[in-house]
Amino acid sequence: MKKIAAAIVILLLIAGGIGYYIWNKPPEKVENRKSVPVLATELVGAFTTDEAAANRKYLNQVLEVSGTVAETSKNQDGKTVILLESGDPLSGVQCTMRDDGITINNGAAVKVTGFCNGYTMVVLLSDCIIKHNGK
């Protein structure tokens, strides 16, 4: 009987340790995953043509999106949001930046890396960082 009780206690301690580790695991960062390079125009085109296929290919993936900055703004949380041009006046790639204080000019060519969160009227990327900023 004591062996069974000891085994149950050990199993509970192991399960508790695993649960503690998973609960306190730091969030994944885009720098730690391989990114999929794609042009902003191609990305928006994929979602507007066949959203289900684009979701299978891009959703929850780290994307390195190349494009031209259409506009920058702040969201309700005060985070910088960059909208990349897509060739479609009603759509684009909306990149919510991880770091504050990012200044970038409209018309600048950039490579933004972030997690793809899907498509509404724009393709949504989160936890973004700028990989390249040029003219």
Is residue 45 one of the residues assigned to a domain?
yes
For residue 85, the SS3 value is coil
CATH number of residue 43's parent domain? 2.40.50.140
Is residue 112 one of the residues assigned to a domain?
yes
Q: Range of 57's domain?
A: 30-134
Q: How many CA atoms lie within 13 A of 86 on its CB side?
A: 24
β 93-97/36-39 pair status = unpaired
Q: Share the mean pLDDT of the chain.
A: 88
pTM assigned to the model: 0.76
Is residue 120 one of the residues assigned to a domain?
yes
Number of domains in the chain: 1
pLDDT at 22 (0 to 100):
77
Q: What average pLDDT score do residues 51-60 get? A: 94
pLDDT bin (cut points 50, 70, 90) of residue 104 is confident
Is residue 21 one of the residues assigned to a domain?
no
Q: Is the pLDDT of residue 25 over 80?
A: no
Rg (CA), the chain: 21
Is residue 18 one of the residues assigned to a domain?
no
Is residue 92 one of the residues assigned to a domain?
yes
9: phi then psi, degrees, rounded to nearest 5? -65, -45
First CA to last CA across the chain, in angstroms?
A: 74
CB 36 within 8 A of CB 46: no
Is residue 12 one of the residues assigned to a domain?
no
Is residue 86 one of the residues assigned to a domain?
yes
CB 95 within 8 A of CB 123: no
Q: What average pLDDT score do residues 59-75 get? A: 93
Q: Is the pLDDT of residue 134 over 70?
A: no
